[in-house]
Copies of this chain bind each other. A is one copy, B any other.
Amino acid sequence: MREVFHQSLEDVQGRLVEIAELVTVAIDKATRAFGTSDVALAEEVIEADAVIDDKAIELDELAIEILARQQPVARDLRIVVSALRISASLERMGDIAEHIAQLTRMRFPERAIPKGLKSTFTKMGALDVEVARKLTELLRTEDPALADEIRNDDDKLDDLHVSVFEKVLSDTWQGEASATVDATLASRYHERFADHAVSVAKKVVYLSTGDWTVETDTIDVVVPVQ
């Protein structure tokens, strides 16, 4: 039974890694599409999101099956419950990639990135891809150092998010209302992505260290500017 359970867990872990890889591809394509107004690339992201959703559902069904058949307790039980939560976060990260792609498509043939914010969004996009890669690696290796790196990247993204608001609310901002709306939404999506990654990373560290503090999910920068 123990052996069977171990194999099931490896299956769960392998599927989480697979979903994280798909999310990494999605965020890479979405942020590049956003940066270059590449509507074809944006369409790819929008279409592919259904695959991420399906994989998350399959994983959830597998986790429920493991609970039913193998009736794990203690640490084993918490691992399976955590997998359910992690899959929900990964699925949501896929949605956010899709949102960025939708913004790109909506503005096409205009550029979705407001003038004066190109370098900021390029940095945010690159950091989001980094975060997604590290998260995939963390799910594969359970190396807690990666969780620290993800937290650091999230801090940088929070700073960049605040800097977008500072720019938009400064006297020199000449963007029209549509540019202000786009900057606000796009910046929030780029920043939220990393919040979910931090939340997943914490759970993976719990899984590997046995520190079982259940905690609520997301730390959120909601305040545009002080």
Contact = CB atoms under 8 A, between A and B. Distances in A.
Interface of A: 53, 56-57, 60-61, 64, 67-68, 71, 73-74, 77-78, 81, 84-85, 88, 91-92, 95, 98-99, 102-103, 106, 165, 168-169, 173, 175, 177-178, 180-182, 184-185, 188, 214-218, 220, 222-226
Given A81-B84, A92-B217, A106-B223, 15 more contacts: A64-B77, A67-B67, A68-B73, A71-B71, A85-B88, A91-B216, A98-B222, A102-B223, A106-B224, A106-B226, A169-B177, A180-B180, A180-B184, A181-B184, A182-B224
A169 B181 contact: yes
A64 B99 CA distance: 33
Given A106-B226, A177-B173, A53 B216 contact: yes
B220 A99 contact: yes
Number of copies: 2
Dominant SS among interface residues on chain A: helix
30 contacts: A64-B77, A64-B78, A64-B81, A68-B77, A84-B85, A85-B88, A88-B217, A91-B217, A92-B217, A98-B222, A99-B220, A102-B222, A103-B223, A106-B223, A106-B224, A106-B225, A106-B226, A168-B177, A169-B177, A173-B177, A177-B180, A180-B180, A180-B181, A180-B184, A181-B184, A181-B224, A184-B185, A185-B188, A185-B224, A188-B188
Nearest to A171: B177
A92 B88 CA distance: 13
Contacts of A106: 223-226
Contacts of A57: 214-216
Contacts of A168: 177, 181
B56 A216 contact: yes
Nearest to A167: B177
Contacts of A64: 77-78, 81
Nearest to A178: B169
B61 A67 contact: no
Given A77-B68, A217-B88, A222 B180 contact: no
